[in-house]
Amino acid sequence: MALLELEGVTKQFGGLTAVSNVSFAVAEGQIVGLIGPNGAGKTTLFNMINGFLKPTAGQIRFRGERIDGLKPHKVCRMGLARTFQVVKPLQRMTVLDNVLASSFLRFPARADAERNAWEVLEFTGLTPVANTVSKGLPLGLRKRLEIARALATRPALILLDEACAGLNPTELDESIRIIRKIRETGTTVLIIEHHMKVIMSISDHIVVLNYGEKIAEGSPEEVARNPAVIQAYLGGEAAHA
């Protein structure tokens, strides 16, 4: 049984179909990439998986249980955490307090929560800035704080929404290293990413969306050769060339 299964998931906003009949599965222990041009419906799909949006049709199952329509905090409690494309740090709190706030979910006692928070900070390399107010962090570290906060809830599956966008090459390498390390510790990763180098090098499996529909799925090599994918990214002319 796959860890996460989507079956015929559809989302309509009025007359606009943002996501149309998308089905795929994420196996435990994998890093799965979700790619597609801007407006393909990737973040909408994340919002449905994490519970911010209720699908118009279709089912989402996590560990075999339906989670579509559950509130985000319930989904998180079940072991599915996410980060945001537009980072949402708890601005006037320090980095440590940010991570501490999400540690309480699994560790109600303060001492345990603090231990968990420090572990996660060490894991994500944020220990040196633990006492910095998160408002003042550069983007690279704020992106990493997003990941740290999600990890502090000890998820089985983590959804990363463009966790690498806007990073410089050094930060990028560090983030790739952290994402690989997340998988090594037994957490499955579903990642949205525009950076092709990143997605091709870390994904075991890639799902491609375009105009809300799944147009391809497979290993990075398969997806890179797929004519429909090339057409979506480079336009009709290129695909025939």
Residues near another protein (CB under 8 A): 50-52, 71-73, 76-77, 81-82, 84, 88-93, 97, 100-102, 104-105, 108, 110, 113, 149-150, 152-153
Is the Cβ of residue 6 or residue 113 nearer to another protein in the bound state?
113
Of 54 and 177, CB closest to another protein: 54
Q: What is the strand order of the sheet 80-82 is part of? A: 80-82, 157-161, 188-192, 31-35, 205-210, 213-218
Please report how close the Cβ of residue 26 comes to another protein at its closest, in angstroms: 18
User: What are the phi and psi torsion angles at 222 (to 5°)?
Assistant: -60, -45
The nearer residue to another protein, 88 or 225, going by C-beta atoms, is: 88
Angstrom distance (rounded) from CA 84 to CA 169: 21
Rounded to the nearest whole angstrom, what is the least distance from the CB of residue 21 to another protein in the complex? 26
CA distance 181 to 190: 14
The residues, any chain, with a CB within 8 Å of residue 162's CB and separated by 6 or more, are: 85, 192, 193, 194
Q: Give φ, ψ of 103 to 5 degrees.
A: -75, -30
Q: Which is nearer to another protein, 90 or 165 (CB)?
A: 90
CB of 130 to another protein, least distance (A): 15
DSSP 112: H
Compute the least distance from the CB of residue 13 to another protein, in Å. Answer: 18
